[in-house]
Each structure stands twice: as C-alpha cells, then as structure tokens.
Structure 1
C-alpha cells in the first residue's frame, strides 16, 4: 500500500507565482550568507538603519553650519526629512503586513504573507516587508544627488549595493527590496515637492541683485535708470 503524499502547508498552496519566485531567489542567494564578502557588505549596510542615517544627516547639517555652506546645510536637512518620511511610510506598511523573513523561512520551513491590519506582528522574524534599509538608503541617496549632482552616481551605487545585499543576507525577499526602493523614491519626491512649494516663500526676493540696498542714492533698479535718463 503506497503512502499518502503529504499536502503542502495551506500558506504554501495559496502563495502566488511572485512569492514562489521570491522564495526561490532568496533560497539560492541565502546559501551565500556566510560568505565573507556578503558578511562584510551586510555589516556595512547597517549604515542604512534609521539611527545611523539620522546621525549622518544631522552631522551633514552641522558641518554645513560650521563651514557656513548653505548648500551643505540644505542637503543635510533634505537627507533628514527624506529619511524620516521613509521611516514613517515603512512603519505604516510593516504594521499592516506580516511576512516571514527569509532566514526564518529557511530555518523553520515556515512562511506567511498576509494583510493583518492593526494586528500585524511587531516581531522582526515576521516583518520582512518592506525593506527599511533600502527605503532609507534610496531616500538619502536621492537627497544627496539633489544637493550635489556630481555625487549622484556614487550615492546611487551605494544605495543599490545596500539594497541588493539584503537578499543574500537572508533578511529580505527581492520584492521587499523593490518595495523599499519605491518608498525611498516616493519619500524624497514628497520632500522635494514640499521644499519647492515652500522654499520660494521663505527666500522671498532677498537676493542682493534683485533689490536696491535701502538708503542708497543710485541703485541698479529700473526706477533709478528712468530718473537718470530723464535728467
């Protein structure tokens, strides 16, 4: 008498094709999690965690203030705002979706992805979606690129490396990383839109070439030119 085949877990039977592809990639990449290069890059990617990114943003702002470089101050503030928005959006999603992290899936053979609403687990093994490190890295990289376009390429490469290393580290699935990158792009876009909306009002027309200094007899404004011509 042949043995009855065991049915796969209900969660596995209900998994989508994308989830199956995610799991396959995470499994293959996860074989390298003990590789020295993966471990080195994985440790370095912790710079994209929330506290280090906030500290880096504040340090950039402080350096700009000390050096009296407004563009550096602006970049630091843009980095800080982008990271805070990315963190907020990431938490909104994480607190509504439960997803097993790859290391948990590979160790225990358990997998779950569901919309849990306000009842989502706060425990790390079940908070894989989305990748917060990727969200923060992309948001701050774009903020740096806005302030210093010449740094767009190295900042983008760094953010890309941080995002990609999360898969062989077994901390995230590929779609977690993609979602994190989308959050990062959106966060910096929102900050940029806000700065474009409010920066002109704060700057006013205080540029020295746009207004004559008060009390000066002859300036560069159009009224003075007309009076000189008539005289």
Structure 2
C-alpha cells in the first residue's frame, strides 16, 4: 500500500485494524489510484470533474428546461424537467446518507494515516466521503437525459464514469463511495421519473383547464400536457 505521503511515525496498517476485508481492499486500491494525485494531469482531470458538482448540473438542467419551453419541444422540456427532478432527488438522498454515515476521505489516510467508517454521520466535510455526490448527480442527470435522447445520454454516462474515476484519482473519494453514488443516482432518477410521469398525467387528465390543455393556441399548458405524454 502506498504510504509515502503519510505523516512520519503513523502506521497506515494500524488505521485499518477495525476495517472489514471489503473496506481494506477498497482503501488499498484507492490509495494506489490516488498515489499520483499531485500529478498535473490528475489535477486537470479533477478540475474538469467539477462539472459534476450540483451547481453546474442544476444550471445545465434548468437551461435545457427553459430552452424546451421556448422552442415548444416536449422532448427537450421533458428532458430538462426530468434532469432537474433526478438531480434534486439524488441530492436529497446523498445528503441523507452522509448524515448517517461517517467515512473519512482518502487524503486523511494518505496524509495522516487516519481512517474511520461507521454510522453516526459527521458535519465535517473530510468525514463525509460516502457517497460521492458528484457521481450521484452526474449519473442521475445522464440517465434522465437518456430517456429522450439516448445518444446524448450515453455520452453523458461516459462523462459520469470519468467524473467518478477522477474523484478517486484525486483522493476525494474511495471507489465504494463512487459506486454508492452511482447506485443512488440510478435509484433517484427512477423514483423521480415515476413521480413526474404520474403527476403530469394526473393533472392533465383530471384538471386540463389548469394547464390550458383544451385551448386551441400553443400555450405552455398544452406543452406541459404533451410533456406528460412523453414521460
């Protein structure tokens, strides 16, 4: 296990005394992958991976929704709304998970030979390694986009994988954090898609006058009813 950057006098192996075999394997692999975290290419990849943060993803999803409404395109509007819903759900689930799981980030292990993982949560960011929020949000958005635009969604999925790898390489997360984030992203998108489809269908079926679904002109309301059919 690479420990060249660990503080003198501290034993990385001792930090894993209470870790399970799966955790030990994850930490050992993560430490190897993050051993070059100061390399310029790794730093550049980490900077590029910031696109997977919540703010850029919310901005991108919102822009797509607005563009869809402006263009009167049900597919684009549906994608923007789906991406926002999936991202919001992933964000909530991620926050709830971090509130009950405490796991120290790789840089604490690499620099200070410190590792903890247990229930209870933590308010300190260095102790909120699980799950990877960047991965959760990126996967959720990619899956939502793929429902109406498969090719674009596939490309976004590749980007989500790259973001996850960059998080491990820069020492921000362990591999299990990234895998956990990916599962959260998929689950959040599925939940959000189901709720959005049910809500849109119910409103347009029961109260069409609220959205102008029977109007002759192409109102935003009619568009939303058509969006409901896309979902």
Which structure 2 residue ranges, 5 or more long, are not aligned? Answer: 1-10, 209-213, 217-231
SS of 2:102 mapped into structure 1? strand
Is residue 2:128 matched to residue 1:127? yes
Moved over 6 A (4+): none
Q: Distance in 2 between matches of 1:83 and 1:55?
A: 11
- CA RMSD in angstroms comes to 2.1
Q: How many residues align?
A: 199
Shifted more, 129-138 versus 188-197: the winner is: 188-197
Shift of 1:40: 1.6
Q: Distance in 1 between matches of 2:66 and 2:122?
A: 37
2:21 paired residue number: 17
Query: What aligned pairs does 1:32-181 form with structure 2 within 5 A after superposition?
Result: 32-116=36-120, 120-181=121-182
User: How has the CA–CA distance of structure 1 residues 152 and 56 changed in structure 2, closer, same or farther, with 3 Å as cutoff?
Assistant: closer
Shifted more, 87-96 versus 66-75: the winner is: 66-75
SS of 1:81 mapped into structure 2? helix
Please give the TM-score of this superposition, normalised by the length of structure 2.
0.80
Please give the TM-score of this superposition, normalised by the length of structure 1.
0.80
Q: Deviations over 1:167-226 (max 9, x none)?
A: 1110000100010000000000001111332333334398xxxx9x9xxxxxxxxxxxxx
> Greater CA radius of gyration, 1 or 2?
1
Q: Distance in 1 between matches of 2:167 and 2:144?
A: 22
